[in-house]
């Protein structure tokens, strides 16, 4: 079974009906479900997603997401080696790339797990060598 990493931009697009990527996110998600893809969510991105949802859509939405995420996604714990790998990635970042620590963590986890695809709407991942699922 194939595995794909999940980014907070995809989570936000799936949940927020007013997000410009909402319809596309639903189509991609349905396709992934149909293909029986395992969606892997690093625990750091679980925390990031909860924070974004709490701030932008409120605590009820954030709580509902957390309850569902813990059941629906495979949560991958970030290792100290992932953190050092993310640190190394960030040492190469320029102002043009503007990569966050969360982005670097996701890339480090992808490298460790041998996954080259991420469900995201954040084009930074393309700069970091990952394929963006469903986005051309």
Beta bridge partners of 3: 38
- Mean of the per-residue pLDDT values of the chain: 93
Please give the pLDDT value at position 112.
Answer: 98
Please state the separation of Cα 112 from the chain's center in Å: 15
- How large a percentage of the chain has pLDDT more than 70? 96
Domain residue limits, the chain: 3-132
- Sheet strands side by side (includes 3-6): 74-76, 38-42, 3-6, 117-119, 131-132
CB atoms within 10 A of CB 106: 33
pLDDT one-digit tens code per residue, 91-115: 887 665 778 999 999 999 999 999 9
Per-residue pLDDT averaged across 71-78, rounded? Answer: 96
Contact in structure between 12 and 22 (CB atoms under 8 Å): no
At 42, is the secondary structure helix, strand, or coil?
strand
pLDDT of residue 32 exceeding 60 = yes
59, HSE (Cβ side, Cα atoms, 13 Å): 0
Whole-Å CA distances, 46 to 35, 66, 97, 136 = 23, 8, 23, 25
pLDDT one-digit tens code per residue, 40-69: 999 999 999 999 999 999 999 999 999 999
In CATH terms, 3-132 corresponds, of 3.40.50.150, 2.70.98.30, 3.40.50.1010, 3.20.20.140, to: 3.40.50.1010
């Amino acid at each position: 079974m194939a595995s794909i990493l999940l980014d907070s931009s995809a989570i936000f697009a799936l949940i927020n009906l007013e997000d410009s990527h909402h319809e596309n996110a639903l189509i991609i998600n349905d396709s992934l479900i149909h293909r029986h893809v395992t969606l892997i969510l690093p625990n750091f991105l679980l925390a990031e997603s909860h924070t974004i949802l709490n701030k932008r859509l409120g605590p009820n939405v954030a709580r509902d997401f957390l309850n569902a995420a813990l059941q629906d996604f495979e949560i991958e714990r970030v290792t100290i080696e992932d953190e050092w790998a993310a640190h190394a990635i960030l040492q190469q970042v320029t102002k043009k790339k503007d990569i966050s620590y969360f982005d670097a963590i996701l890339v480090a986890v992808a490298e460790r797990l041998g996954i080259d695809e991420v469900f995201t709407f954040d084009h930074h991942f393309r700069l970091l060598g990952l394929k963006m699922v469903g986005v051309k």
